[in-house]
């Protein structure tokens, strides 16, 4: 399970083995060995098993739990409110969100959810609108 999840997380973020190795090395204290692309490739193929420290660095980098990464649990539930108000850098379609953007998006979501409670009850079959997610 670990090799498949690691590969899926890395490919899902469109990063190379080398880029991941460099990112993990940026998290490394001076007394730890540097990560290499071939080492991570061996983890993804199940040839080698990383140490707890390495798995923890991977979980921190991909912002997942150790349980998820090792296959013990499915992907965690995220509270968007906490995420938007956290100090983590956020992006949308590879565009970094400013603090003002984050706050405005938070307000939009909050307003939508509060407005949803007060909207009239309509038959879902009467709704003909569809969300167009195709960006031109």
- Residue pair 25/35 in contact (Cβ under 8 Å)? The answer is yes
Give the pLDDT score at 135: 59
Domains within the chain, CATH numbers bracketed: 2-70 (1.10.260.40), 80-119 (no CATH)
Q: Is the pTM of this model over 0.75?
A: no
Residue 125's pLDDT band, with cuts at 50, 70 and 90, is low
With 90 as the cut, is the pLDDT of residue 32 above it? no
Mean pLDDT over all residues of the chain? Answer: 82
Give the pLDDT score at 99: 86
Residue 47's pLDDT band, with cuts at 50, 70 and 90, is very high
Between CA 81 and CA 107 the distance in angstroms is 10
Once rounded to an integer, what is the mean pLDDT over residues 104-120?
Answer: 82
Could you tell me how far CA 60 lies from the centroid of its own chain? Answer: 10
């Amino acid at each position: 399970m670990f090799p498949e999840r690691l590969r899926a997380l890395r490919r899902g973020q469109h990063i190379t083995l080398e880029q991941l190795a460099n990112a993990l090395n940026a998290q490394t204290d001076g007394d730890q060995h540097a990560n290499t692309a071939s080492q991570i490739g061996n983890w993804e193929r199940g040839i080698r098993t990383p140490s707890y420290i390495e798995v923890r660095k991977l979980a921190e980098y991909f912002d997942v739990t150790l349980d998820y990464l090792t296959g013990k649990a499915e992907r965690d539930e995220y509270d968007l409110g906490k995420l938007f108000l956290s100090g983590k850098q956020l992006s949308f379609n590879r565009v970094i969100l400013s603090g003002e953007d984050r706050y405005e998006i938070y307000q939009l979501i909050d307003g939508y959810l509060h407005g949803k409670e007060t909207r009239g009850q309509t038959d879902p079959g009467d709704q003909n609108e569809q969300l167009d997610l195709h960006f031109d």
